[in-house]
Each structure stands twice: as structure tokens, then as C-alpha cells.
Amino acid sequence: MIPRYTTPEMAQIWSDEARYENWFRVELAALIALENQKEIPAGVGQKLKHEAQKINWKNLANRALEIENTTRHDVIAFLSALEEVLGEDSRWLHLGLTSSDVVDTAFAYSLQKSALQIGQRLTALTKILFEQAQKYKHTVCLARTHGQAAEPTTFGLKLLSFAVEMQRNEERLQAAIREIAHGKLSGAVGNYGNIDPRIEEAVMLELGLVPEVVSTQVVPRDRHAIFFGTLAVIAGGLERLAVEIRHLMRSEVAEAFEPFGKGQRGSSAMPHKKNPILTENVTGLARLIRSYAMAAYENQALWHERDISHSSVERVIAPDATAVLDFALLRMTQVMSGLEVDAENMQKHLDATQGLIFSESILLMLAKKGILRQTAYEWVQRAAMNAREGQGDFLSNLKKDTEIKKVLAAKDIDEALDVKHHLRHIDAIFDRVKR
């Protein structure tokens, strides 16, 4: 991913030097396990571990890439570069292993690490959303369905919906981490032809991973599909939140705004503009993450015990998807932390409906008085549509309607148009949310 959308933390996780260091971590863990099984001379593991502390991993990465220009094989190039700095004892590395044992296990390690970074961002955003939901718990605003005025709600309840979704996403991410945290050291076709399964168990324990129950040359890619699919679901939640803020920031709505810093410019041509660039950016980034998930789904079907059609895909989507989601989460946290809310405009839009948003209350009141639902619907719709066309206001139309006033007294209609009726369960909804 380009630096613009990559945080320093995620850049480090997916750097070349981190990749080679993780490969060595797998190789060394396997070597030490073999040493413990007395299959190689005692003391080699500690010696190599000590020597590896002197390695400049950035320099080694550059050397490995240089060698790869000749070998056309990244793991062989890596092992060759290690031999140059570790000397004769490096011959004990990679015993009984195939390249995918190292690469897939280190890949799982990096994915797990990147997911933990994303988890921290997600937790921070969830916390802010709950705080803002509580702050605006009783700030009345207009709910909209199909982009049209619907009924009264509160801005806090709107935000609570997003907070709880992010809470679910925290759970989904933890499940995805468990899914992806599988490595393998089972050899070229997954049958442990040249390595003992106990070596695999020891290595996975050292790395905080789980041995794949049945592997081929690689860890099955359904695990990766689940992982990247989960990232896409989280991104979809961010986009839902971003789109809500974008709509509320429109000039004709102007109910909530992403932060606009001192000295910030909205348009190169129009000085009056305050464009929702942060949330628009998140919307675009969510599209990218969904595309990466689709690529991961395509990677599931490999030939026989393995081909490398998935490899080039994962080299792109793993750093990109995790970096983009990490960045998007940070951005939305900044947006929600600095969110500006115009409660007066919210009330203004409620008042502008002239009571139309209480039409269901009137409908239900008529039904409870014994009027057939479809008949009641026609009566209320008639009063509402006349009001929308400028023929009186909704309240007056209801009170003077010949058929309605036979059933409902004026005070009944006034009670039905009380906003408190619609908001009486807000506290109960908040109370049933578990934190």
C-alpha cells in the first residue's frame, strides 16, 4: 500500500526486513526443536540465536533480494543470504522443510500480528462510539428511511447502532485471528515425509500458532478467505458509518459534521466549502478492502496439493488489506472524536415535517378504535398528502377530517403527536447493550 494510507505500525509489520526476520524465527524454532530431539548437534540453536542478534535485517533483506535475481526463488535466496552472515552452522537450517513450511507459517504469524494491530484500532473506535452515543442519548433527531423523513429517534440511538456493530466486529476479528493462526511444518505434500510432527508442534507453540490439522504443501486457503472476508465486513461497517456522516453533512441537512481543522481548505475554487473528505476517503478504502476479500476467495481452489497462483495475490492483498483497514479505523476514530453536532438543525428538521412523522401513531390509534387498518390508512394518508401538497398542515387536516373526527377527539390527536411517545424505550435499549 502507498505510504499515504499506511500507518508506521503496519508498515513495519509488512516490511521486507520483518518478513525475513519472521522466516528466520520459523527456521530457528524448527532447528531448536530438532536439537531437542537430538537430531542435530547440541548448542547449535543457541549459537545461531546469538549470532542472529547481530544481523541487520534490512541489509539482509537487500542481499536476499539481490540473490533472488539469480535464483528466482525467494526462500533459497534468503537461506543463501543467511549462510553469508551465519557461517557453517547455518547448514542445519531448513532440515526436512519445504519453502511453504517457512513461508506459510511466517505468513500466519504476520497476519496474526497485523490483526492484533487492527484490533487495537477497532477497540478505540468502539469506545468513542459508545461515548458519543451516551452523550447524545436524548438528542432528538429525525430518522430517515429511503432518504425520506420517517419518525423521531435520537442521535445517540443512531450512534449506538454503529457502536454495537463495531462490538460485533471485535468478536468477528477475534474469530478470524483464531482461524488464521494456523501454520504447518508437514513437508512438501503435507504427509511429514521428512520431518516429525512433533517438530511442527514445538514450532507452533513457540510462535503462538496452531498446527494445521490436515495440510497439503500449504495451509488451506479457506482460512485466509475467512480472514480477509472478515476485514471486508469490518470495512463495510466503517463505510456505513462514513455514509451516515456524509449524508448528515450535506448542506440541506447540516446536522453533523466531520472535524474541519484550522487552516483547512475545502475547495481550490470555492472558499465556502467544507467537504466531507475524511468520510469519503473511508468509503473509497472500503471498496478496496472488499476487492481484496474477493481475491482471497479466488485463492481457495489450488491445483492438487498446491500451485502458486495464490502467492502473487497474497503478496499484494495481505499488506494492503490490513494497512488500509488499520488506516480507515484510525481515520474514523478521529472523525468520531471530533464530530460536530448541530442539535438545533435536528430540531428544525423535525419541526419542518409539521407532524407528518407521527402518521403511524394516528393510524394505530384509529385501528385500536375499531377502524379497519386499510380504511384508517386511507384517512391518514389523505390528510398527509394534502399537507404535503400545501393544503393545510397535517394536524389541522386530521382534526377537521369528517371521518377521523368521528373517532378521535382533538386531544387524542395531540397526544399521538407527542415525541415522547416514540422515545419512551430509548433508555431500555441502551440498558440491554452489554459492554
| Residues involved in catalysis | 146, 267
Side-chain half-sphere CA neighbours of 274 within 13 A: 15
CA–CA dist 94, 120 (Å, integer): 35
* Contact status, residue 235 vs residue 287, Cβ threshold 8 Å: no
CA–CA dist 67, 149 (Å, integer): 65
Distance from CA of residue 171 to its chain's centroid? 11
Largest CA distance in the chain: 101
Phi, psi of 430 (to 5 degrees): -60, -40
Residue listed under C-alpha cell 502458486: 308
CA–CA dist 322, 429 (Å, integer): 33
* Contact status, residue 132 vs residue 340, Cβ threshold 8 Å: no
